[in-house]
Structure 1
């Protein structure tokens, strides 16, 4: 019960890594404030958490709209009077295409979601945390914040930007009690990963087998890293991106 009575906000909570994190924080006694674009999935998750004795509320949230993100933070403050932990998980991969074939619509969609969304979230989360003496923010970046990857230029650029935001905020607020870190997942079994490979099971299998770990990771394995970075166990950790990639970058 490491997070008992801690107020935890999660964006992109309706599926994948966000959903896994919400369930884990709930098991450890957190008071959850969940946001996602998909209302039905988000409300179902809240019902499941409450049925298991947990505490959770949900608000439809499009992180490309600053007003939505502000409203989600205000929901935490109105329900609980504080914000202790934020996991900025919402993100998209965008359309796969060679660099010269990318278009402005795809670029804008990816950057608005992955960069502006994290920027707006951090801005309002930090303001809330300063009111109650500090907190911990964990951003979901990607192994793509450390390396390039063919045919995903806007996505890779967006995740490099997330690490830039993470490091800058970490430096600005460490002495005011707020730690800011990121998780950098690699090949993780999520709906997003399914879309990236577009049903090409053979290519996906070949890529996975070439990883040093010889397998893909799970959303729950990413969640364990999020829990660590959000906890007092990581009290001297800020401004870092924790790779959860099965050794991909170490090759």
Structure 2
């Protein structure tokens, strides 16, 4: 286990372009120490080609780890109506705002990343009242909560990570949508029946694997898949996998190097 944070130029927050910093969080274990050794070795070789400062390491307490990201996280408007509000900040909503109060903790999904923003915008455009929604890789639960607040009839939010499941359940309760959103540990195999809308903000490789394992079968005829977490140079592979398994891409969104594909289940599959 572990995590990586890429700190880079963020025009939205008024930052100035410059040095890119990669922060990685490793467990204190034999595997973590071995990963550290390999990182140091690889960076040393890279520094022979391009001047790099030596990596810095420090041990974090769980409290440090859980709160280190908070100083970079603030109220964020996503799309036309959705507003993501950190649980520790104040915000006075406009009449039309749909506010999601979020404490992502150690789970992915703050609304800051382009993939999450594009998914939220897709929800605003394509979700209709009463829809049955499946959120694969729910992370913090941000997309599932947004779907519920935008009018979904029911949402099944799945994640293989038990930490994400705990965080998502807490956020669902905070937002008062526990009657609409069910959070469970698992992946596609745990989803029963068919859905009007499937959200998969994961990775290109995982989306391909899900397509091969029958993702199209989880969509009602005419239902939509929102597939995100796709780096642009991996897009063609995802398109081929979806097409081969009964889905047709009907819309493409792009932000920076990230692509979101919206696909519909084809007749006959």
TM-score normalised by the chain length of structure 2: 0.41
Greater helix proportion: 1
Kindly indicate whether structure 1 or structure 2 has the higher relative contact order, using CA contacts under 8 Å at least 6 residues apart. Answer: 1
Pair member with larger Rg: 2
